[in-house]
Every structure is written in C-alpha cells, then in structure tokens.
C-alpha cells in the first residue's frame, strides 16, 4: 500500500529539502539543500501530455517574468518524456519517477501523483501541495503568492521583510 501523498507532503514543510542532482532539458541541475539563490518551485507532473497539464504549465510559462523578477526558479519533474519539452522555458526533468517517490508523491496503485513543492531561499520547504492530477493543484497565482509569502519572512527572526511585503501587497491588489 502506498503512503498518503498529502501526509508525506505535509511532513516536508519546514524541513530542508535534501540536495539532489538530475539531468534536465537545460542540463544538469543541483537542487535542494540551502541554496540562497531565491525560491525554488518544483512542479511534479506525472505526465505533460494531457490538455489539463499543458494548460497548467502554460500558466507558469505566461508568468515567467514574474518568477524571474522574484529570483525564483521553476523546475518541472515528470515521470514520462514530454513530446515537446522545447516549448517549456523551464528545466524539465524527465523519467523522474524516483524523484516522485523520494518526495512522497506516490499514490494508488503506487504510481506518481501530482504535486507542487515550494522551497524558500534558505532551502526549507515552505509549502507543499498534492493532487491526483493537474486540475487538483493550486492555480499559478496561488503558487506565486506562496512564493512571495515564503520569501517575505526572515527565517532568523520570523519577521516579514519590508521589500517582500510590498511585493505581496502589489500581487494581492
């Protein structure tokens, strides 16, 4: 019996994402661990071939300048090989079934389940969402707000930093 992906995801929150490396459509990536390079958004999508997942990714592609402005990296992890990864301007890790398993994103009957993991600039998992498919995941604006919220708080003192609060307010308005 597979572990509950929601419980596994919730257990990651507040912990440092373990470092890992993987080959992607943009070369070798070193991810996780304290990286101090800005937030990291990991989109775990079992398959990029469905219309629902293509539409989900399109929301992130359309907002690429916003993520770049935040200094956030977006990386897609899929268990399959997408037919056209070239149109996706983010790194795509294909055949990533082991990464789904490592991060607890395995549902019934043991196959990968969709998920979004947001890691703050200090390497801690700030948010984690799961779903059976792309339609169950939070929409791109909610993910972007979660990135802003994660980056707004100083981990040493727990107080929001002013420049991030301004960004959160402008995103909300």
Span 60-82, pLDDT tens digits: 999 999 999 888 999 999 887 66
- 99 pLDDT exceeds 50? yes
Structure tokens at 80: 């399959």
Q: Chain-wide mean pLDDT for the chain?
A: 80
Banded pLDDT at 3 (limits 50, 70, 90): low
Question: Which pLDDT does position 98 carry in this prediction?
Answer: 79
Q: What share of the chain is helix, strand, coil (3-state, %, to 5)?
A: 35, 25, 40
Domains of the chain as residue ranges with CATH: 5-137 (3.40.30.10)
- 142 pLDDT exceeds 70? yes
Question: Which pLDDT does position 18 carry in this prediction?
Answer: 83
Q: What mean pLDDT is predicted for residues 114-119?
A: 91
Higher pLDDT, 24 or 165: 24
| C-alpha distance from residue 78 to each of 4, 111, 121, 171 (Å) | 19, 12, 23, 29
Nearest to 76, CA basis, from 53, 97, 93, 59 = 93
Residues 6 or more apart in contact with residue 5 via CB below 8 angstroms? 104, 105, 106, 107, 113, 115, 130
């Amino acid at each position: 019996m597979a572990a509950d992906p929601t419980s596994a995801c919730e257990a990651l929150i507040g912990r440092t994402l373990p470092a890992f490396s993987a080959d992607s459509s943009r070369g070798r990536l070193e991810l996780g661990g304290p990286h101090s390079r800005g937030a990291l958004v990991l989109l775990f999508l079992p398959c990029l071939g469905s219309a629902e997942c293509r539409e989900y990714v399109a929301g992130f592609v359309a907002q690429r300048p916003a993520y770049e402005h935040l200094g956030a990296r977006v990386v897609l992890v899929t268990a399959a090989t997408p037919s056209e990864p070239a149109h996706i301007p983010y790194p795509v890790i294909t055949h990533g079934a082991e990464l789904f398993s490592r991060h607890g994103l395995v549902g019934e009957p043991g196959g990968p389940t969709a998920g979004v993991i947001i890691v703050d600039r200090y390497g801690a998992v700030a948010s984690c969402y799961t779903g059976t498919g792309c339609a169950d995941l939070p929409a791109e604006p909610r993910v972007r707000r979660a990135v802003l919220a994660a980056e707004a708080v100083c981990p040493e003192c727990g107080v929001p930093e002013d420049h991030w609060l301004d960004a959160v307010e402008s995103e909300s308005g």
